[in-house]
Structure 1
Amino acid sequence: MPVSATTTPPSSDEINYLIARYLDESGFTHSYYSFAQESRIAAKGFQGSHILPGALINLLHKGLLYLEVEHHTNLDGSERKCDVPFRVAEPHTCGLSEPAELRPLKRPRKDDAAAAPAAKKRDKKGAQADKGAERTEKTERGDRREKGEKIEKGEKLDERVLERAGKSGKGGREKVSADVLEPGFDSKQAETKMISKLYHTSPILRSAWNGSKTDTLATGAEDGSLRVWRVPSMPRNLPASAAPVLSLPDHLKPDSGVATVTISAMEWAPNGEQLAAATTDGRVLLRNSSGEFVDCVRHHNAAIYTLAWSTGSTLFATGSHDHTVVIWQADNGVMRRTFDFHLGPVMTIDWHNEDTLATGSADSKIFIFQFGEITPLKEFSHMGEINKVVWDPTKKYLASCSDDRETRIWDFVTGKQWSAKGHTDSVQTCEWSPGKRKLLVTGSADHTARLWDVKDVVEDSSSSSNASARGKALDCLHSISSHGAPVTSVAFSHTGRYLATASLDGRVNVWLAARLAKVAAPGFSDKQKESMALVRWYQAESGSGDFLEAQVRWSAESEQLAISHGTTTVAILNMSDARPGASAAQ
């Protein structure tokens, strides 16, 4: 194959960069630092955001395959027969191993297993030898039968194999599954283990994992239908079980003049016993843990934008375009209280405990309500519409993000506030890390997501005597700039190990959160740091519905990520098989 005129051999600096990346990705921190300093790669200004983790191994593997093909091609273009393993560190001599008819069968024949050994006279020593051989043969057959059963259950080996010499030195061939291949190996079989897909007949707008029954996922669509799925924690062994479509009962069909009822918000109760789903015509649908219809309640006279459960699962709240917040009794759907202090649509709600909640509105106000009180307990404000409010795991601090390009953190007790500035457009969403280290991630319409260090919030709050003073600005640990459209959803996994960011361009990235939060070595750019933290990515097709919003939701206990993007498909990424540089694209 002719080499392009623009193709040049890699420079020593480029090779050094790949080696440094390999050392860092493999956990050789000291070796990585020493090598990076001696090779001075930080001064070279490499922009390696397009290079996926595992690039060095992937390139070596591809180069080795090319050399193997080149070595086994005759001058006339015919293939040279050879099944001796081709290794990078050993001289290669072509040859053939044992003839096929002499190789052991992969699985035992039925007639061989049923055949009885011929009876014949033998002396005592010979009988013992025959018994030992028979015992060995049965053991080998049992092992082969067990392997055969595993293959029948779906644990098939990848059809593309690596051939290597057997330990006995007889040149035997051995198939290697995709699980043990080097990082970056592009295998269709490996991709099927990473991802499964769930389907509706209408664009899917919302998904929600059951926090108690962690293999249960609910999905809500633009046509008002719901489905409740059983998603196994290891989808390579069992597929997601088929779920019936849960449509609205006939007596609850849309009012005249309304074309359809869209699921606009949906959440499971913390105890996992009930599912509440809200619609664009102001209804709230209650279903049990199996998805069966329980009740339909209605008090809002406009679209519901947000829904949240109290920590004890006894109450839930809805916020609507009609400027009101309604508190509902979970067991019977009775309306308990209405708050109408907001002057604009209520966009977000998060509960502090069983009777206190925070709400944010397009009127730029944040109110903290207590169920039995007439007036709000606290009032905070931004300079723009509030897009989200969320309590930290300790329930002491409230984070809020706004169209004013700012994210703020509020101390619930003292009212003190801290600011996170840096986005150049509306901040769409924010989430706290569940780990011991206080981290906050924000997603913005400026196509970026930012990771903030909130450790100083606790230190300032406990040491400062001036409760009304503004705290100092938060430190931005990293700005993710690899998306090509507004970032509308961010989420940490339940352990805090992974961070998922989703954009309207259909791209979902999964990062190692600790690596993004880590202070980069001097001289390394954010692009280089970002390329080292990327674990997996997924590219969805363009949405076809009237509502376009990317959403990512992690399972409460397993490392599974549900991705919806306004299409008829929800993708489930399984991170238990994650390898650096793996990807899945629709």
Structure 2
Amino acid sequence: MASFTSDELNYIVFRYLRESGFAHSAFVLGCEAGIDKCSIDGNLVPLGALITFVQKGHQYMEMEANLTCQSDTDVDEDFSFLRSLDLITKDAHELWQMVKEKKKTQEKGKDKEFDSKYEGKVDGARERAKQYREKECENDKERVEKDKGREKQHEDHTDSGISGGLEPVDTSITSTYHICKISSPDVIILEGHTSEVCVCAWSPAGSLLASGSGDSTARIWTIGDEIRRSSLQNHPSVLVLKHFEGETNENGKDVLALDWNEDGTLLATGCFDGRTTIWSSNGELRRILEKHKRSILSLKWNKKGDYLLTGSGDTTAIVWDVKTGKQIQQFEVHSGSLLDVDWQNNVSFATSSTDKMIYVCKIGKTCPIRTFSGHQDEVNCVRWNPTGSLLASCSDDVTVKIWSMKQDKYVHDLRDHAKEIYTISWSPTGSGTNNPNQQLVLASASFDSTVKLWGVEEGRLLCSLNGHRDAVYSVAFSPNGEYLASGSCDKSMHIWSVKEGKIVKTYTGNGEIFQVCWNKEGDKIAACFRDSTVCVMDFRM
């Protein structure tokens, strides 16, 4: 007696029926194989019972034809949804309905798994914040005492004067004393969102500030020149951009990404449901771009403003022609969710993913023009330097890497953080910028509560900014490159002197800060908070 599993038996009979054209009976099949009995799922079955499979042969063939024509997956994978009893007792139509229902259930399970796994990524890492917070009182006390002992040393260092660009400073310095807190008259608190505010961005042309929230709306705020003069009479006006129909918000339409075009006339917003929406600066809906199957985790306009690049949790990036609303090209090069995208120029861009890979793609090319591998964990952020000659990346593998299009291997592997690095930012300085006499610097923000400044030419740590007490989500350089703003899960925003490596101003709100950004003139800073508010601070030294 031979023993087969039901899957093995199904496969043997099915393939036999296909190849024989049903010219033989199941009995002949058994005689040729020397089998008189078999075991199906542990039960002995006379070989004569296999004649049932012969009678079902046409249904097998019809079933396979249906799957081949109507499914975009492997046929053998579709057959795996069925049990041997199903194949014997049900006709082809019933089998096809079963496959469709089971596949639908499986997809729902995958979506649920995706939503759970990447919830922290898409809403400003809210879940991962909890995991990496350091609220050990004893450690904080020890650090404060240590900082007090270094305070005089730091003052002596900064008083000596530093010229000719940023010089390395003591990387262990924590400058949290004798700093100026931003006072209430210098702050406008923008209220109206009903959920956490994930992203914010100033328009490059004027006094407009955009914010995107988990409440399914984006808002465009008009901020006056003089924050100090704000009052109930001239409180900032606001345009509410709804990403839902009807009176109530819809689940899954959280606004996770937004970006202004170069002249500030159009705002693009990306939602959790995979839709990208284009708005005018006065709040008019221009276009809805629908192709992605999962969340928009990053989007960017090219400098020319004719193309919009979107990166999604569905593993693809799409370049859109905004005038026509048509996709120019969809890039399917990653095997994991895209976490970030960034343009190198008007036609080439970089993408990073949970698959640990970085690709540089070009419109019109089906394959990447450069592949960067070297990270050992998810790559959270990619940024080109101001001239597009170098690409920086940061990862959960606790490293920052610098890449050049001239070689596959990284130019620098920067290691000094103790935990995952969430974001990076280049200074608007160096050759080819508006600040050519200042050194090009890269800032990195980590869940280890520090911000680090790196000298890119030498590939070395210049300064460690240790003023925060929790994970740092966002960093942004001022337009002149002299200051750096950082926003943290400790509810505080610090403004640092890049040259001296110390805090010059600070502001504390009522929730974790997900993003900070400067206006074009460099005299205002915006921060968006988990407590559903956006704050705009006057910054004048």
Normalising by the residue count of structure 2, what TM-score does the alignment of the two structures yield?
0.64
Aligned counterpart in structure 1 of residue 265 of structure 2, from 253, 270, 273: 273
Matched, 1:482 2:467: yes
Aligned 8 A contact 2:398 2:417 in 1: yes
Sort the Cα spacing of 1:415 and 1:253 in 2 relative to 1 into closer, same or farther, 3 A.
Answer: farther
**Distance in 1 of aligned mates of 2:174 and 2:486:** 19
Residue of structure 2 in register with 1:384 after alignment: 377
1:449 aligns with 2:451: yes
Percent identity, aligned pairs only, is 28
What's the counterpart of residue 52 of structure 1?
A: 178
* Residue of structure 2 in register with 1:129 after alignment: none
Q: Which one of the candidate residues 238, 244, 252 is aligned to 1:243?
A: 238
Task: Determine if contact 1:233/1:560 at 8 Å carries over to the other structure.
Answer: no
Q: Are 2:392 and 1:399 equivalent residues in the alignment?
A: yes
Contact 1:192–1:236 (CA<8 Å) still a contact in 2? Answer: no
Could you say if the C-alpha distance between residues 298 and 506 of structure 1 is closer, same or farther in structure 2, counting changes exceeding 3 Å? same
1:534: how far off? 0.9
Q: Greater CA deviation, 296-305 or 360-369?
A: 296-305
Aligned to 1:554: 518
Shift of 1:498: 0.8
Counterpart in 2 of 1:563? 527
Structure 2 counterpart of 1:330: 322
RMSD: 2.8
Within 1, Cα distance between the matches of 2:200 and 2:245?
24
1:219 maps onto 2:221 in alignment: no
2:297 alignment partner in structure 1:
305
Instruction: Label 1:408 to 1:17 Cα distance change in 2 as closer, same or farther (>3 A).
Output: closer
How far apart, CA to CA, are the structure 2 residues paired with 1:48 and 1:415? Answer: 37
Q: CA deviation at 1:301?
A: 1.0
Q: In 2, distance between residues paired with 1:439 and 1:48?
A: 20
CA drift at 1:28: 7.0
Instruction: Please give the alpha-carbon distance, in whole angstroms, between the structure 2 residues aligned to 1:352 and 1:47.
Output: 35
Residue 566 of structure 1: how far off its partner (Å): 1.5
| 1:534 has 2:527 as partner | no
The structural deviation recorded for 1:191 is 2.0
- By how many angstroms is 1:16 displaced? 12
Q: Which amino acid in the other structure matches residue 199 of structure 2?
A: R
Q: Find the counterpart in structure 1 of residue 33 from structure 2.
A: none
Larger mean Cα displacement after TM superposition, 227-236 or 486-495: 227-236
1:412 aligns with one of 394, 405, 416: 405
Check conservation: 2:174, 2:465, Cα contact below 8 A.
Answer: no
Q: CA deviation at 1:411?
A: 1.0
CA distance in 2, matches of 1:536, 1:225: 31
Alignment partners' CA distance in 2, 1:16 and 1:224: 48
- Separation (CA, whole Å) in 2 of partners of 1:575 and 1:364: 38
Unpaired stretches in structure 2, ≥5 consecutive residues: 1-146, 163-169, 431-438
Query: Structure 1 residues 18, 305: closer, same or farther in 2, change over 3 A?
Result: closer
Partner Cα distance (2:482, 2:189) in 1? 24
Deviation of 1:331 (Å): 1.9
Separation in 2, partners of 1:221, 1:453: 35
Task: Give a deviation string over 1:250-290, Cα, whole Å, max 9, x none.
Answer: 28998xxx635100100001121110000000011110121
SS in 1 for 2:205: coil
Q: CA deviation at 1:219?
A: 1.1
The 3 A distance-change label for structure 1 pair 550 and 248 is closer
| TM-score (ref. length: structure 1) | 0.60
| Cα 1:285–1:446 shift into 2, 3 Å | same
| Structure-2 separation of matches of 1:245 and 1:29 | 48
Report how many residues are paired. 373
Amino acid at match of 1:52: H
2:94 counterpart residue number: none
Match of 1:515 among 494, 500, 504: 500
Q: 1:326: Cα distance to partner?
A: 0.9
**Residue matched to 2:21:** none
The 3 A distance-change label for structure 1 pair 375 and 29 is closer
1:428 aligns with 2:422: yes
Paired with 2:490 and 2:380, the residues of 1 have a C-alpha distance of 20
Which one has the bigger strand percentage?
A: 2
Give the equivalent residue in structure 2 for 1:263.
Answer: 255
Q: Deviations over 1:488-508 (max 9, x none)?
A: 111111111110111112121
Residue 349 of structure 1: CA displacement? 0.4
**SS of aligned partner of 1:515:** coil
Q: How does 1:91-110 map to 2 (within 5 A)?
A: none
1:210-242: CA deviations, max 9, x gaps?
Answer: 1122x1111112111121111123312355521
